[in-house]
Each structure stands twice: as structure tokens, then as C-alpha cells.
Chain A
Amino acid sequence: SQTIHQWPATLVQPVGSPLSLECTVEGTSNPNLYWYRQAAGRGLQLLFYSVGIGQISSEVPQNLSASRPQDRQFILSSKKLLLSDSGFYLCAWSDKNEKLFFGSGTQLSVL
């Protein structure tokens, strides 16, 4: 069966520090991968998605970047965090039926 791992679960970072969130998927090959951000109790904002290794589509210009160095690994990064980067970050993968399966999320607080 397929599983998705996202870590860390919680992260507190100072303004200006770098960020690296990692997501890995097991049990499937060539999945579509996604990074979403969610403001407190609200809907999901699509940040990046990838249909293959090295292929990244960015939806919102911002302080973040994404990379897919391996088929089942998706990384969200920032060189210098801003206060506005705080939020709940969710990684997800989808199958050919366009169903999304989410990780457990990372709560990022930038102070």
C-alpha cells in the first residue's frame, strides 16, 4: 500500500533563517506531488506541483522554492523565511484518478 511521510510535524524558525521540509512517498511510482499551504482553519493554497523528477510548476510567486531530486521525494525550501511564511504546510501525492492523498502536515511558525 502507498504511504506518504512528511516531516517535521512542528517547526519554529526565526525570521531570516532557511527552511527545508521533506516529503517522501512509498508504494507508488511516478506520482504527481504537491505542496499546499493552509492558513489557520481555512482552505488550501497550492504552492507547487510536480509531474516528474526535476519538473516543478509554481503557482504563487513567493519566498519559497521546491525541488524533486528523486521520483518519490519532494522538498520545500526557503533561503530566508519571512513572518508571512508561517502556516500549515501539506504535502500530497495523486494517482491517475486525480485523488489526492495528504501527509500529516508541518506546522511552521516563523518568529
Chain B
Amino acid sequence: TQLLEQSPQFLSIQEGENLTVYCNSSSVFSSLQWYRQEPGEGPVLLVTVVTGGEVKKLKRLTFQFGDARKDSSLHITAAQPGDTGLYLCAVPLNNNDMRFGAGTRLTVKP
């Protein structure tokens, strides 16, 4: 069983549409991070959420940490082709260990 379950696994939408992807767990975390990865490159950190219920906005991206700090969502408004990529959530565990979900592969068609 994965520590972090990300859904959907794949998502293909048209430019201009809105979307939400999810990162769920049965465990409680001190913080949670979202990364975006483009093909052939390493993931790039988008945001870190720390407080239960916290909402952070990064341009058209809205990140929310669940009240119980077990889950998170990423909402994209008016998606653009440049948003295409693999979206990964990650959490720090004890002893400096960072664990990732399997990711949501987003394709935004022009």
C-alpha cells in the first residue's frame, strides 16, 4: 500500500478548463509538498503546506492542506499547455526521509 495515494493517475483536458488533483493518506504529516516534473527533468518544488486547512495560491494554482493534515489538493484554474507535466506530492518522514506519491500525469491540449 502506497503511503500517498494520488488521483487521478492520468488527466487530459482542453486549454481553459479547470481541474483538481488529489493526494490522500491515512497518516498525519507535519507538512506536505507539491512538485511538478517535465519529461527528462527532475521535479521542481511548487509549494509546501504546513498548517491544517492552509490554502496557498501560486498564480492559477491553488493548494490546500486538509484540516487533519492527511490529504491535500491542487486546483488549476484555466489550464494552459504549459501546465502539462507530472504532479507529485511528497511528505517528510522521520530521519530526513522524503516520500513521494505516484503522481498525476496532466496533459493540457491547446
Residue ranges of A at the interface with B (Cβ–Cβ < 8 Å): 32, 34, 36, 41-44, 46, 49, 51, 57, 59, 90, 92, 94, 97-105, 107
A44 in contact with B96 (CB, 8 Å): no
Task: Assess the A100–B88 pair: CB atoms within 8 A.
Answer: no
Segment at the interface with A among B14-22, B41-49, B53-61, B69-77: B41-49
Q: CB-CB < 8 A to A107: which residues of B?
A: 40
Interface residues in chain B, defined as those with a beta carbon under 8 Å from any beta carbon in chain A: 6, 31, 33, 35, 40-45, 48, 86, 88, 90, 92, 95-103, 105
Partner of A90, one of B6, B42, B97: B42
Task: List residues of chain A with CB within 8 A of the CB of B90.
Answer: 100
Q: Is the CB of B101 within 8 A of A43?
A: yes
Option from B6, B42, B48 in Cβ contact (under 8 Å) with A104: B42
Are A102 and B43 within 8 A (Cβ)? yes
6 contacts between A and B (CB under 8 A): A36-B100, A94-B98, A98-B98, A101-B45, A104-B40, A104-B41
Contact check, B96 vs A32: say whether CB atoms are below 8 A apart. Answer: yes
Contact yes or no, B98 A43, CB < 8 A: no
Give the residue of B45, B48, B97, B102 whose beta carbon is less than 8 angstroms from that of A49.
Answer: B97
Say whether, besides A41-B105, A43-B101, A98 and B31 are in contact (CB < 8 Å). yes
CA distance A49 to B45 in the complex (A): 19
- Decide: B40 and A94 in contact? CB cutoff 8 A: no
